[in-house]
Structure 1
């Protein structure tokens, strides 16, 4: 059986790709990847072949420029698909499904699945016009958040949670939190977006001896620029990092930062990978009220939810809240949720088993 993973993003942005690649490796199935190349770091030892489309020009582009550039990817990828005559295609995100919709429907009806990772203007009439038939003609679709179903067309969806236990197994889940006299490290790991949600926290916690704020990821230069000249001593900034370094930063995290805004489907419905880091580690996560991630994390006892533009008093309130957490309760709720996560992965594997059985 010949499998293709088709994506308009680079490998480093393909969160939970390992769910599929581990399955293929275990079942000795060869697979190719057609993807974007932004940083010249696409490498996966188990892939049969990686076909890269040069996307370096899109690094600082707006969404429309990116869409126009990736539209050129159609011809690049179509030639590869036609030459290799794949048996099945895994379509990574809705942008990819949008761009390749007609090709998928005409040539691979019921022989592809779409992995919905985020909100990509799916309720826009033009996008919906192309996405809807692609979703309905797919073999099945996966979503990383139940809340995505609010804006997606009718279709079969498997909810696949984004916990990479194989990677996180290198870390020890917390059995206790920092003592009252120890510094609390708030970590923002991943691409720095919407810094307007970061700056108010920095202002509230700056030079507070109880806190360290660590920012790691592409775009962190905006944080460096912000603190420059403000004499802020408790902010640590690192630039872009390799995925393998994730463990290094999570090891020292006490609270994870996940304040991205509210009031739009993109941030209101997503369950970020940071939530799963927090669940595995039994540590708190900062979220906004009115978001689905806030609802889920609050249910588990790890969510510190605030209203947007309500950072006043954060230093004392967060410190008091952190030191009144019941770690045993949190360990139990997070452990139960991890069981639910693993069941979602098993559902995917059973579906892939069915595809393999047909070949």
Structure 2
């Protein structure tokens, strides 16, 4: 949302935001005009209950679009597009951007067919990882959009090892806590090792279970809960390693490019991910990633030594080179949004 807002503001476009406040924590800053669907909906609801809630959200969205009569739409996330597919086809063909940020239910054939119809009806479809083409319908409408904001790049700083501070390596996770099996394993292997400090910022479906697990086993893990996006820089200031390690059991993790990857590039913090997933492979290839294997008995030692052997100048150079590549790739996306604003299928 913030990325599109940034472009719309630069183009002096009038816009409104329709969104669902599912968890009682508004996502939209007050300075923007917004229409909020206020219905609590827990993250761990059954599929049946989730569908019911999404259908209510669909009715709310359509009602407000009809009332406001917008010229064009930007449809954020796959599920929103799926639940609005017939309305978009009929009323906004070639007048909306469809933004796909994650793998959802593409293994379910009817879902994928509906998604294909949404993509075909869009002015263009944004994907946040080139690897999404592995599971999405074939199309020439895909435009890559990295999860990075240009204004954040100005915050870029230098790489500093913890030995220049207190000697303890802080391994920080910032985001949705959803993968209990992986997070509990990380906590068991690192939390009570004097060389490391383990920190989790965020909330998600596994938050309560993970927190209870650490408390029951007296694992020294700092778990802070929900955070405000504007505080991210402050949270990253104390991070030595960005924890972006996800398992391969979930198909969604294989192809995604998490925000954490771009945080690593901008703030010069080594990125630790599973080398069996795309983000881990790209980070190692680009020189910003750590390759310690969580499943190895020597994992803690491997992670410690790999980190301490990082060459500061080389690491910073690799971050800057990869960041330049990302910015160049992102320029096409920005130009396509500007094109959409100017004509957007209204020729």
1:59-103 Cα offsets, whole Å, 9 max, x none, are 331444323311221211111111222111111011011100111
The residue that corresponds to 1:336 in the other structure is 321
The residue that corresponds to 1:66 in the other structure is 50
Contact 2:293–2:299 (CA<8 Å) still a contact in 1?
no
1:197-346 → structure 2 map (5 Å cutoff): 197-219=182-204, 220-233=207-220, 235-307=221-293, 310-346=295-331
Contact 1:282–1:331 (CA<8 Å) still a contact in 2?
yes
Q: CA deviation at 1:45?
A: 4.4
Aligned residues: 339
1:267-292 Cα offsets, whole Å, 9 max, x none, are 10001111111111222222112100
CA–CA separation in structure 1 for the residues paired with 2:91 and 2:63 = 13
CA–CA separation in structure 2 for the residues paired with 1:55 and 1:286 = 37
Q: CA deviation at 1:261?
A: 1.0
1:13-52 Cα offsets, whole Å, 9 max, x none, are xxxx2221111112221111111112242433453x3111
Contact 1:221–1:239 (CA<8 Å) still a contact in 2?
no
1:158 matched to 2:143:
yes
List 4+ stretches of structure 1 deviating above 4 A: none
CA–CA separation in structure 2 for the residues paired with 1:329 and 1:178 = 17
Structure 1 window deviating more from structure 2 (221-230 vs 291-300): it is: 221-230
Query: What RMSD over aligned residues (CA atoms) do the two structures have, in Å?
Result: 2.0
TM-score (structure 1 length as normaliser) = 0.88
Q: CA deviation at 1:202?
A: 1.6
Q: CA deviation at 1:144?
A: 0.5
TM-score (structure 2 length as normaliser) = 0.91
Please give the secondary structure, in 2, of the residue aligned with 1:298: helix
The residue that corresponds to 2:180 in the other structure is 195
For structure 2, which runs of at least 5 residues remain unmatched after alignment? Answer: none
Please give the secondary structure, in 1, of the residue aligned with 2:217: coil
For structure 1, which runs of at least 5 residues remain unmatched after alignment? Answer: 1-16
